[in-house]
Structure 1
Amino acid sequence: MSSPAAIPVGTETSGPVLGDFGGGAFGIYVHVPFCATRCGYCDFNTYTAGELGTSASPQSWLDALRGELATAAAQFAALPTTTPEVATIFVGGGTPSLLGGDGLASVLDAVRVNFTLAADAEVTTESNPESTSPEFFERIRAAGFTRVSLGMQSAAAHVLKVLDRTHTPGRAVAAAQEARAAGFDHVNLDLIYGTPGERDSDLDASLDAVLAAGVDHVSAYSLIVEDGTALARRVRRGELPAPDDDVLAVRYERIDARLTAAGLTWYEVSNWAASEAAACRHNLGYWDGGDWLGAGPGAHSHVGGVRWWNIKHPARYADRVADGGLPAAGWETLTSDERYTERVMLAVRLRTGLPLADLDPTSAAAADRVIADGLATRSGDRLVLTDRGRLLADGVVRQLLVP
């Protein structure tokens, strides 16, 4: 990390001091905090119209976003090195598709006004299948988006009901096909497995639907019951059973086998792609320890070993931006030990693996034990998880980091 420049994030003199860019890929994440309804399992920083009332709107959010991007660009310009071209943009949420095609085009325009995009920039938006249409996909493709990620979760109606998802089971596949027809080469479908009441046949039906959609990327996540969610309250009251770890492991193996047989290869524990080009470069930037600006309420940023996170509520976020500073709620400068921990924790999840040369002596000895236990293998000069190791990835990380 270069010597930090005295660039405080936010309006307070006690704000963090940004380090220089780290030299890796630079991405921008934009957080859209709006949802039509709240899913029972979700603990993201999202709000329905009823929850916000008149305190914030998509327009006030977009105005504040423009202000944050302009302020960030000005502060980055004062760092010792030139701000890198933006390699990736990811618009997430929340439900970005609620902004409509024109709204998402305005978001991308706001980034372009303040930053230089690489010629081959990957530009992704998440979308709820129910708030998309052929015209929506055509509009955002024309605006410059290159990748779409659709929340499918399951093809089983009763599973979607437990998750409080509002889309109909077949809509995600139809939306994926509409996106492809609009010219998107890269389309992702998200799955959640292990929902209470999900049967093997339900998962198989979901995988059948994913493969029929012809997408080139699939993300599959085990259901996590987050504290404070409606789902957690139902589990606590005994209305639903908690996800079973053994069932989750079997489901993961089932997913991996089906996707692998169809030509999609895992490149991160929860992600499969049909080719190297189909992998999500934005997320790879996180996993490879790159730099990124997180814009929008509650978004997190990382530049040169300094991390900060924005005020969560859209109205208070907009007020802070109006005051002239970045809307940071808090910040930290990562120590060398913290950066090492994150490097191990993230790299070990990748198919490319963790460079053995990056390990300190204690972790290197632990790596030998992990290999002996059949959880990883040496692939050249890297430690790569085995199939069994992927099921126990968190445990592998603990072994590598805890003496």
Structure 2
Amino acid sequence: MKAQGKLVAPVADWETKRRWVDYAFREFEKVGYAVNSTSTVVRDPAKVKFLYREGLFSGADLLSVGVASFGHINGVHYQNQADFAPYLDKVNAGGLPIFRAYPTQPDERYIREFMLMLKLGANSRSQFKAKFGTDPLEQFAAPLALLQDWGCLTVDGDRLVLTRDALLQVDRLLMEFFKPEHRVTKHA
């Protein structure tokens, strides 16, 4: 690249990236691994837990440490300073290096958790009903019906299950759950 005078490496398009990840998943499955999220496989899902990810996705309070890191405390979603110098300036002055913060409403916390947990491939209806008071099939009737119509989601008793194809493009599909004021295309 440098010899060609280019500063930016060519990047694969989303379809190519999804094809590569699907291929990798299938190869891992051939040797006994199970896909347990958009980007991870494990040998035994009953024994292996990603506690940080599960805590983050399920709304646990997490204090962010480090440049540009995200945290979530008592319903406030925040991000630290994105550049090192402002981060250090805040810390050295005895302050918190927070760049931006957004106090979330209960419905936004439901949406956030539901979407993040879908990145694991399936959600439990009863778990969400117990925590938020409504069945996701009611709360998200329109987007879930759309995903079903597209062949991306099935309802299997208590579980809302994404297909492999849907899991590979989940960030794009999750846009359907966003509130109108939060719909800004970033991932495809």
TM-score (norm 2): 0.73
CA distance in 2, matches of 1:400, 1:315: 36
Structure richer in strand, relative to its length: 1
Closer, same or farther in 2 for the Cα pair 1:383/1:324, shift >3 Å? same
Q: CA deviation at 1:378?
A: 1.6
Counterpart position of 1:346: 116
CA distance in 1, matches of 2:111, 2:166: 19
Is the 2:111–2:177 Cα contact (8 Å) retained in structure 1?
Answer: no
Counterpart position of 1:268: 37
Residue 50 (structure 2) aligned to one of 280, 286, 289: 280
Aligned pairs, number: 169
Q: CA deviation at 1:263?
A: 1.5
Is the 1:269–1:350 Cα contact (8 Å) retained in structure 2?
Answer: yes
1:317 matched to 2:90? The reply is no
CA distance in 1, matches of 2:179, 2:100: 28
Q: Which runs of 5+ in 2 are unaligned?
A: 130-134, 181-188
Q: CA deviation at 1:402?
A: 6.8
Closer, same or farther in 2 for the Cα pair 1:279/1:244, shift >3 Å? same
Q: CA deviation at 1:286?
A: 1.5
Partner SS state of residue 102, structure 2 = strand
Q: CA deviation at 1:265?
A: 0.9
Counterpart position of 2:183: none
Q: CA deviation at 1:257?
A: 0.7
Higher relative contact order structure (alpha carbons within 8 Å, sequence separation ≥ 6): 1
Is the 2:137–2:144 Cα contact (8 Å) retained in structure 1?
Answer: no
1:249 matched to 2:18? The reply is yes
Matches within 5 A, 1:139-218: none
CA distance in 2, matches of 1:324, 1:400: 39
Q: Bigger radius of gyration, 1 or 2?
A: 1
Counterpart position of 1:378: 155
Q: CA deviation at 1:354?
A: 5.0
C-alpha RMSD of the superposition: 2.9
Closer, same or farther in 2 for the Cα pair 1:296/1:274, shift >3 Å? same
Partner SS state of residue 309, structure 1 = strand
Q: CA deviation at 1:294?
A: 0.9
Q: CA deviation at 1:384?
A: 1.0
Closer, same or farther in 2 for the Cα pair 1:369/1:332, shift >3 Å? closer
Is the 2:81–2:97 Cα contact (8 Å) retained in structure 1?
Answer: yes
CA distance in 1, matches of 2:176, 2:100: 31
Q: CA deviation at 1:308?
A: 2.6
- Matched letter for residue 393 of structure 1: V
Counterpart position of 2:65: 295
Counterpart position of 1:146: none
Identity %: 25
Counterpart position of 1:388: 165
CA distance in 2, matches of 1:309, 1:329: 6
Closer, same or farther in 2 for the Cα pair 1:287/1:362, shift >3 Å? closer
Q: CA deviation at 1:400?
A: 4.2
TM-score (norm 1): 0.37
Q: Describe the superposition over 1:82-119 as per-residue Cα deviations: whole angstroms up to 9, x where unpaired.
A: xxxxxxxxxxxxxxxxxxxxxxxxxxxxxxxxxxxxxx
Is the 2:28–2:41 Cα contact (8 Å) retained in structure 1?
Answer: yes
